Structure 1
Amino acid sequence: MDLRDLRYFETIAELQHLGRASARLHRTQPALTSSVRRLEADCGAALFERSGRGIRLTEAGKVLLKWAQRMRFDVEDAKRELQSIGAGLSGHVRIGIVPTAAQFLLPAVARQLLREAPDVTLRTVVGLIDSLKPQLRAGELDLMVGTESAAEDGWVSNALAEDMIVVAASARHPVFRSAMTLRNLADHSWALQPPGAPTRDWLDHAFDRQGLPRPRVQVETTMLLMLPTLIVQTGLLSFISRHHLEGRARIPGLKEVPVKGAAMRRRLVVTYRANSFLSPAARRLLQLFEQSAAPPVVAE
């Protein structure tokens, strides 16, 4: 099999449309059709079938896609490993990271890495875990720092720290003048992430379990780093990391609303693809993250 045909095949499989693949790859549709036919001849099976206005993988196509990705990773890793010989702590490291870890874990780790290896370049992608996983899976990231989720074959995850997500508000908020119960929280407006975000879903279900109406959301945003400052300036409640309320990172005027049953515990982990090549710089970054791991928080 030709590696170029396999690369074209991956793109066609991703887009599920020959025309869009042609535009991305800057190849004509007949050229891509010929490429697919060569692969089908090698495999002895059809790789695509029609689906509406597009195409989709057959069972044979799904098997080939798995191996095509693995072969591409091997070729790319071989190139990177060869380039790293004699280079020491240099080169380019690609890391995906969730907002909380980007704000509270990454700065000290990156500072130490750049102190040891001033020639290293870092590309950071800040996002939610669901947007980072496909990039790690596709080989677009070397490391991912995010919230712990179900184990995946071919990935290695190491624990870094535990994080508590708590209800918070401006210290002047009227919620502090009444009994702080989940029922009373339902009387106030909130600033939260959209449904589907893990912390939002957890909070909604906490109200569901008590038979209470879900939080009344007045501001909905995916910009997590905006929430602490926003709720200090407004009369809104929110659900944010306790890191914003403690130590040197504490935001003045922000206060935790201590409500039983409204604190979510989550664990932050660093993840990479098993058996993939990590440059010396990427391995050092991995070590620095693991060394920064804080002791677990005390159970509430």
Structure 2
Amino acid sequence: MVDLRQMRYFVAVAEERHFGRAAERLHMAQPPLSQQIKQLETTLGTKLFERTTRRVDLTDAGQIMLERARQILADVEALAKDVREVGAGAAGVLRVGFVGSATYRVMPAVVQLARRELPGVRLHVMGEMLTPQIEQGLLENRLDVAVLRPPVQSSELLLDALEGDSLVVALPAHHRLATGGGPVPLAELAGEDFVSYPQGSAVATITSEACRQAGFRPRVVQEATETSTLLAFVGAGMGLALVPDGARRAAASPIAYRELESAPEVGLAIAWKHGSRSGLIPPFRALAHRAVGEVRHGQPSIVHPPSPDQQERP
């Protein structure tokens, strides 16, 4: 059976690619470290490293082990932190994921409301994520609740719609379409270089379909996971991008935004795993609805906690 100590030893060797440096990092002698790694390989029945006189390389099995071991160790550390916080008096801990564009508009309002109205609750916020990443985090119980862009693939997740957000085109400041009045026809963007969220993300999927209906396929020259990075690429003149209107707050670069004719819309929803026992999800949902209302109208809006019959599957 693999124990956590062996897992930590393995990660150190895998990251250092050298037993001597790994031993120094772990504050131990090299011979017992080598022995522990050999015991781990014996337990698993496979080689994790290819050893040479100069360096240590991961086998294919070792690469898989490294990815899983890092996640397991991170989960154990998060568990220990959550337990310590609750033991120190916190009413609970809620691990929250947010998509990139919500990070700049909805998330600050949610966090402010939570600090004011749920003072005993610790929010562990992970922003600038894509919907597929968030979905995996919810399914693997690394996240308790999230604000994401539908659709999702798994029927294990429940969704509570928050709002719809029209896509706008973000353009370099010197672009020929950067100035002008009125919405831009999507077909006007044919032949342009696009920077985009990765394929499979909600916005990239909606953008691709909207362009197809307009008679062209977007020429994507660069992808970026984070909204801030995506807009930095636009500001640097690498291309234009279709982003949710709420993403405007993310840009520090000189960027022009234009509305689109018959603009496609991308949704925003709260998601959580079916069967979750966290009692913090209902108050979080209520706060998220209030936050959206305040951002949209510029004033507090009272929204009662959603009832169970408002839950809907994707």
TM-score normalized by the length of structure 2? 0.56
| 1:240 aligned partner | 243
Secondary structure of 2:162's counterpart equals strand
Higher relative contact order (CA 8 A, sep 6+): 1
Q: Does 1:7 align with 2:8?
A: yes
Partner AA of 1:176 in structure 2 = G
1:117-147, Cα deviation, whole Å (9 max, x unpaired): 4465555443232676788899876654333
1:212 aligns with 2:213: no
CA contact (8 A) 1:193 1:224 kept: no
After superposition, residues 9-158 of structure 1 pair within 5 angstroms as 9=10, 15=15, 17-19=17-19, 25=26, 29-41=30-42, 43=43, 45-50=45-50, 54-56=57-59, 58=61, 73=75, 77=79, 80-81=82-83, 84-85=86-87, 87-89=89-91, 95-118=96-119, 122-129=123-130, 144-148=146-150, 149-151=152-154, 158=159
Are the equivalent residues in 2 in contact too, given 1:191–1:221 (CA < 8 A)? no
Do 2:190 and 2:218's aligned partners in 1 also have CA atoms closer than 8 Å? yes
What is aligned with 2:261?
258
Cα distance in structure 2, aligned partners of 1:142 and 1:107:
18
Residue matched to 1:268: 269
Give distance in 2, aligned partners of 1:18 and 1:119.
45
101-110 vs 120-129, which deviates more? 120-129
The amino acid that maps onto 1:35 is Q
C-alpha displacement at 1:109, in angstroms? 2.3
- Displacement after TM superposition at 1:161 (Å): 2.8
Distance across 1 between alignment mates of 2:257 and 2:165 = 16
Q: 1:185 and 1:145 mapped to 2: Cα distance?
A: 30
When residues 258 and 18 of structure 1 are mapped into structure 2, their CA distance, relative to the original with a 3 A threshold, is: same
Deviation of the 1:166 alpha carbon: 1.8
CA–CA separation in structure 2 for the residues paired with 1:221 and 1:255: 21
Do the aligned residues in 2 keep the contact of 1:190 with 1:215 (CA within 8 Å)? yes
Kindly state the Cα deviation for residue 83 of structure 1 after the two structures are TM-superposed: 5.6
Aligned residue for 2:46, secondary structure, equals coil
Unaligned runs of 5+ in 1: 246-252
Aligned position for 1:183? 187
- Percent identity, please: 21
Are positions 1:289 and 2:284 aligned together?
Answer: yes
Contact 1:191 1:227 in 2 (8 A): no
Offset at 1:192? 4.2
For residues 244-293 of structure 1, the C-alpha deviation after alignment (integer angstroms, 9 at most, x for no partner) is 79xxxxxxx9652223xx51534434457988x97xxxx53x33332234
Query: Is the CA contact (8 Å cut-off) linking 1:135 and 1:141 kept in structure 2?
Result: yes
CA distance in 1 between partners of 2:199 and 2:97 (Å): 20
In structure 2, relative to structure 1, the CA distance for the partners of 1:84 and 1:123 (3 Å cut) is closer
Give 2:252's aligned residue: none
2:182 partner amino acid: F
CA contact (8 A) 2:128 2:225 kept: no
CA RMSD after TM alignment? 5.5
The alpha-carbon distance between structure 1 residues 66 and 124, as it changes in their structure 2 partners (threshold 3 A), is closer
Q: In structure 2, what residue type is equivalent to 1:102?
A: T
The one-letter code matched in structure 2 to 1:104 is R
Contact 1:144 1:272 in 2 (8 A): no
Segments of 5+ residues of structure 2 without an aligned counterpart are: 172-176, 249-255, 293-305
